[in-house]
Structure 1
Amino acid sequence: MRTYRGAFFVIVFVPSLLILSSCRKQDASKIEENTSEQNAWELTKVGDIEFKCSSFCFVRIQYSSRYGGGYEGARGRPGSPGRGYRGYSGVGRWAVDYPDSDLNLSARFQEVTGLPTDPNGKVMQLTDTDLNQYPFIYISEPGDLVLSEEEVASLRKYLLDGGFLMADDFWGEDEWHNVYYEIKRVFPEREPLELSLNHPIFHCFYDIDEKPQVPSIGHALSGRDSGVTWERHDAREVHYKALYNDKGRMMAIFCHNTDLADGWEREGENEWYYREFSLKKAFPMGINIVVYALTH
């Protein structure tokens, strides 16, 4: 059972639905304002956690990619073997697991931290002029992400101004190659670094004792008897890599060979998957990432 400073959590059954319920209530109160010209974020204290904002809004980034109906994907890039084993029509890969993953994580985050949270979240683009009003952004399935030059400049500015990016649900070396390529376009002078398990992001709210690998519900069910939790042959080892600014602040985390958002999304669909992956891995890691992002 995961614990946080004396708090404990119970699972409540509501016809086929498992609910993560906090048995400790906390009140939020604003203590001081951030006067930075870059962002209008405020400092809020919940219990003994000092957040650098007065509320939380889960912001999902809409982007174009080869399979999303827009820019060319990773195929054909130097050093990339290319792929094409799956694709999406219509809405695009940016919207995988949307909206349930965003809504469920937001609900759980408010429930266990007490920080006021927008229940609806937002979908935005990197070039939106008011993006810097939101300290946390999320990108799903960036394995085929291709940024325009304007998006590259906007993302660089957003992160240097204090924003935080979480990228999730991309598998195998080919997709990492594409993500790395885009990172280097944004920050050619910086390298993403593997996080060790003793990093505070694994312990800032929940104590997480292993780097969580969360497969999609389909892969999890097919691998239930064998214990396979990876979605591709070259994706057995889960990676959490971070990008830092010159002062050592984490600007971005890349969750590679895992699909945390599917764990958030699938609440109520399968009891075993929820217990083994959503409750034990996806929600604790997601909440830790958001807590860390909003406190640094």
Structure 2
Amino acid sequence: MTQGRWRTVALALLLVCIAALERGSAQRRFAQFGSLMDDFDAKRNLDETELIFARVQYNAYGSGWAHDYPAAEEHILDLANEATRINTHEQAYVIVQLDSEEIFLYPMLYFSEVGEMELTEREVVNLREYFNRGGFAIVDDFDNQELLDWFQEQMRLVFPQRSFEKLTIDNPIFHTFYEIPTLDVEPPAKGRRRRGEKPTFYGYFDESGRLCMIINHNNDIGDFWEWIGQPRYPLGPSTEALRFGINYLIYSMSH
């Protein structure tokens, strides 16, 4: 069996396991900010893992930063452990404050619903330093041109001269582990499909040309991760979303 074929078969088998995991994670989903989640956090051992999924809490007028938490983390980490043999586990995730120096502990940060973001001065300084040190960020779950323009405005506070660049399929991030065949993908939300909002992938590059941020616009791959076991989410797009996620994680560890 070829390596590519093995990876496809392994992913298909893992989807079955993840569907079972989803039932357990649902029990915690609505306790994420309360004492139950605090107790859960206290029992996790993150010392031995090679990969920690760091979700960013930033200054905003809503709580979209927490969308899909924690099931999205659990499912993509479980797949990363099984499919890539990275030493991690389904509970290897944290929430970090963007204005805290804790962000510098993690080579990868995950941002959700950045259309709500309104960076403080401290967050701007931290994010600039994070990228200058070689950090990588995944931006997910926001749509329409207005929110894209707003996010670009926020990022110009960090680096005034840098702009988002539309990515093409030949970018290495789409071939890091899985071979992504096309960027013509479906978003999870029916509303996006009805409005004709086509998912687009943007990159944010530093002065050396390093990709330091991948932006999933008009898309929400974390939603696919969260609800992978639900029949209302088609298997094909869900599988592709997991492939994108694995590539992002490996890219963050190797670039």
Name the TM tier (shorter chain).
Answer: 0.7 to 0.9
Partner Cα separation in structure 2 for residue 209 and residue 232 of structure 1: 24
Pair 1:94-2:65 in alignment: yes
Structure 1 residues 99 and 115, CA gap change in structure 2 (3 angstroms): same
Q: Give me the whole-angstrom Cα distance separating, in 2, the residues matched to 1:252 and 1:144.
A: 18
- Hey, what does 1:65 align to over in structure 2? 60
Letter in 1 for 2:19: L
Cα offsets for 1:49-108 (capped at 9, x unmatched):
xxxxx7111100012322x1xxxxxxxxxxxxxxxxxxxxxxx11111111001111111
CA RMSD of aligned residues (A): 2.5
Using the size of structure 2 for normalisation, the TM-score is 0.80
* 1:248 maps to 2:219: no
Between structures 1 and 2, the one with greater helix share:
2
What is the SS of the residue equivalent to 2:101?
coil
TM-score by length of 1: 0.69
- From the superposition, tell whether residues 103 and 214 of structure 1 become closer, same or farther in structure 2 (CA, over 3 Å): farther
2:241 corresponds in structure 1 to: 282
111 and 15 in structure 1: CA distance in 2 versus 1, 3 angstrom threshold: closer
Rounded Cα–Cα distance in structure 2 between residues aligned with 1:105 and 1:16: 9
User: Which structure has the larger Rg over C-alpha atoms?
Assistant: 1
More strand by share: 1
Describe how 1:1-296 pairs up with structure 2 within 5 A: 4=4, 7-10=7-10, 11-12=12-13, 17=19, 55-66=50-61, 68=62, 92-120=63-91, 121-211=93-183, 213-216=185-188, 219=190, 230-231=192-193, 233=195, 235=197, 237-270=198-231, 273-279=233-239, 281-296=240-255
SS in 1 for 2:4: coil
Contact persistence 2:177–2:250 (CA under 8 A): yes
TM-aligned CA distance change 1:5 to 1:244, over 3 Å? farther
What do residues 1-34 of structure 1 show as CA deviations (whole Å, max 9, x unaligned)?
x963854425348699379xxxxxxxxxxxxxxx
Give, in whole Å, the separation in 1 of the partners of 2:228 and 2:159.
36
Q: Residues 147 and 214 of structure 1: is their aligned pair in 2 closer, same or farther, counting only changes over 3 Å?
A: farther
Contact 2:52 2:88 survives alignment (8 Å): yes
Q: Tell me how far 1:274 sits from its aligned partner.
A: 4.5
Name the CA shift for 1:111/1:188 in 2 (closer, same or farther; >3 Å). same
Query: Which ranges of structure 1 fall in alignment gaps of 5 or more residues?
Result: 20-53, 69-91, 223-229
1:141-183 deviation line (CA, Å, top 9, x unaligned): 1112111111011011011101111100111111111111111
Q: Distance in 2 between matches of 1:234 and 1:180?
A: 22
User: For the residues of structure 2 that align with 1:250 and 1:65, how far apart are their CA atoms?
Assistant: 25
Over the matched positions of the two proteins, sequence identity in percent amounts to 30
**d(CA) in 2 for partners of 1:14, 1:288:** 20
Q: Would the aligned equivalents of 1:61 and 1:124 in 2 still touch at CA under 8 Å?
A: yes
Structure 2 gaps, min length 5: 22-48
Q: Quick one: distance in 2 between partners of 1:186 and 1:152? A: 5
AA at the equivalent of 2:212: M
Indicate the residue corresponding to 1:226 in structure 2.
none
Q: In 2, are the aligned partners of 1:240 and 1:255 still within 8 Å (CA)?
A: yes
Tell me how far 1:245 sits from its aligned partner. Answer: 1.4
Structure 1 residues 234 and 183: CA distance shift in structure 2, 3 A: farther
**Distance in structure 2 (CA, Å) of the matches to 1:127 and 1:56:** 22
Task: Kindly report structure 1 stretches of 4+ aligned residues shifted beyond 6 Å.
Answer: none
